[in-house]
Structure 1
C-alpha cells in the first residue's frame, strides 16, 4: 500500500513539473534595451565659397611709346598718371592653403601725355607736338593664392593671375604750338578717335590677411599688374603737320590694395541633436519539442505472507 502511494505521488510530481515547463514555454521575454544611434552630421552648405571686394591705388608706368607719322617723328617724352581702382571677386577655397578666384575691376581715368619732335621731308623745318588724353581700363583676372600659414590670426599669402584688360583712350588731343616753320601761322590742332582695345593682362601678388572672425578677413596686398597696350589715332586739321598714331606699350602698375573677404554660407559644425532610439525587434521564441513519457506499467502491490 505504501509503495502504491509513493508511485502516485511521483506521477503527480512529474505532471506538476511538466505543467510548469509548459507554462514557462508560454512566457515571452522582455524586449532588449534600446540601442542609441547618433544621426550622421548634416553636410555643410557651400562653406568653401567666398566673396571679395577691394579698392586700391596704382602707380602707373609705360614701358615705351610708339609713334607713327607722315614726317620723321621721334619721341621726346611721355608719362602716365597714377590711378585708383575698385573691384570684386568670387572665389573658392580649394583646401586650407590654396584658393582660387575670378576678379573684375575698373581703373579710373588717368592722364596720358607725350611730346614728339618731327621735321619735314627736306630735313629743314622742325616742330614739337604735344599730346594729352585719358586712359581708363576694365581688368578681368583669374587668380590663384597660396596661404603660407597662420600666426595669431595673421596669414601671409602670395599669388598670381592672368586675364585681359580692356583699355579705353578718350579726349586725346594733339597740339602743335608753332607751325611757322611749315609756312603757316598759329598752331595746329588734332583730335583723337577714341580707341578701345583688349590686351593680355597678368599680375603677381604678395600680402597678408587678418581673420576678424571665422567668416570675415581683411586683406592688405601689393600687386604688380601688367595690362598691355593703349592706343589712339589723331585726326589733324592739317594732315601734313604731324598726324600720328600713338601706342602706349607695356603698361604696368604697382598697386596697393585693401580688401574684405567674406566666406559665404559657412554653417560650421552641425548643432547637437538628441540621439535617436532604435529598438531591435524581440527574438522569436521557439518552444522546445515536447516528449511524451508514458506512465510506468501497473504492478500489483506485494502481499505479505503473514
Structure 2
C-alpha cells in the first residue's frame, strides 16, 4: 500500500514536470514596440490673404512695329511712305498695390516706366538726289498704368507658379525726331537736318504674364516672371518741311522682371504635430 502511494506521487510529479515546458510555451510574450522617430514639421510660411505692395525692376526688348507718313511736295500729297526703325532695349521700373482674393486668385494695379532710344530710316527722293536714305533719331518713354489679374497654379513647397493678364493705358512721350537725308550713292551729300516735333499721348495697352513667386517669409515673396506687353499705335511725330505727320503701329515689349511683394494681414501659423506614443500594454 505504501509503495503504491509512492508510485502514484512519483507519477504525478513526472506528469507535472513534463507539462511545465508546454505551459511556458503558451505564455504570451509582448512584442517589442520601437518608438517612432519624430521629425519636426517643415516650417512653411502660412497663407496670407488681403492687401499687398509690390515693386519690380526688369529689362525689356522693345520692338517698333513700323510707321507711315505722307509727303507734301509743293503742297500736294505725294503718297504714303514707310518709316522703319528700332527701339533699343531698356530697363523698366514699376510699383503697385494688390489684393490676394484667395489661394488661387489675386489682382493688382501697377504703374511702371521705361525710356529708350529710337533709330530709323526712310528711302526716297530728297533735295540732293532722287534716291536718298535718311537717318532718323529720337527718344521715347512710356508711363503705363495697368490693371492685372493672376491665377496662382498651386503652391509646391515655397514655389507658386502663376499666369496673368492685364490692360490699361500708356502715356507715350516721343522726343523730337531729327531727320537727315543723304544721297544713297554719295552718303557725304546730305540735306540739312530737319526736326519733327514729338507727340505725347495716352494709348491703349495690354499684357500677358507668367512666372513664379517664392515665399521668403509669411509676409514677403520674391517674384521672377516674363511679360509681353503691346502699346497700341498713335502719332509720334508732327509735320515738318513738307513731310508728316507720322502714324506708328505700336510698340511691343518682351520683358524679364524681378520683384518683391510685401503682404499685409496676420500670418497663419503652421500646424505643429506633436507625437504622443500609445500606452504600452500592462500584463498582469
Q: Does 1:264 align with 2:264?
A: yes
Distance 1:153-1:159 versus aligned 2 partners, 3 A rule:
same
Distance 1:129-1:234 versus aligned 2 partners, 3 A rule:
farther
Aligned partners of 1:210 and 1:219 also within 8 Å: yes
Q: Does 158-167 or 71-80 show the bigger shift?
A: 71-80
Deviations 1:167-206 (A, max 9, x none): 000132111234999xxx8522211212101111000010
d(CA) in 2 for partners of 1:203, 1:179: 40
Task: Name the counterpart of 1:62.
Answer: 64
Deviations 1:107-127 (A, max 9, x none): 1x211122112237xxx8232
d(CA) in 1 for partners of 2:234, 2:117: 12
Deviations 1:225-272 (A, max 9, x none): 011225333554xx35xx232233131111000010010243547xxx
Task: Name the counterpart of 1:208.
Answer: 212
Q: Does 1:146 align with 2:148?
A: no
d(CA) in 2 for partners of 1:69, 1:203: 35
Aligned partners of 2:105 and 2:149 also within 8 Å: yes
Q: Does 1:84 align with 2:88?
A: no
d(CA) in 2 for partners of 1:93, 1:80: 36
Cα distance, 1:83 vs. partner? 1.2
Aligned partners of 1:140 and 1:164 also within 8 Å: yes
d(CA) in 1 for partners of 2:145, 2:62: 18
Aligned partners of 2:176 and 2:237 also within 8 Å: no
Task: Name the counterpart of 1:113.
Answer: 119
- TM-score norm. by structure 1 comes to 0.64
Cα distance, 1:212 vs. partner? 0.6
Equivalent runs, 1:1-306 vs 2, <5 Å: 47-70=49-72, 71-72=78-79, 74-75=81-82, 77-107=84-114, 109-119=115-125, 125-178=130-183, 187-234=191-238, 236=240, 239-240=241-242, 243-266=243-266, 268=268
Which secondary structure does the structure 2 equivalent of 1:188 belong to?
coil
- TM-score norm. by structure 2 comes to 0.68
Aligned partners of 2:174 and 2:237 also within 8 Å: no
Cα distance, 1:81 vs. partner? 1.1
Larger radius of gyration: 1
Aligned partners of 1:178 and 1:188 also within 8 Å: no
5+ residue gaps, structure 2: 1-47, 73-77, 270-284
Aligned partners of 2:49 and 2:99 also within 8 Å: no
d(CA) in 1 for partners of 2:148, 2:83: 38
d(CA) in 1 for partners of 2:216, 2:265: 17
d(CA) in 2 for partners of 1:99, 1:63: 32
5+ residue gaps, structure 1: 1-45, 270-306
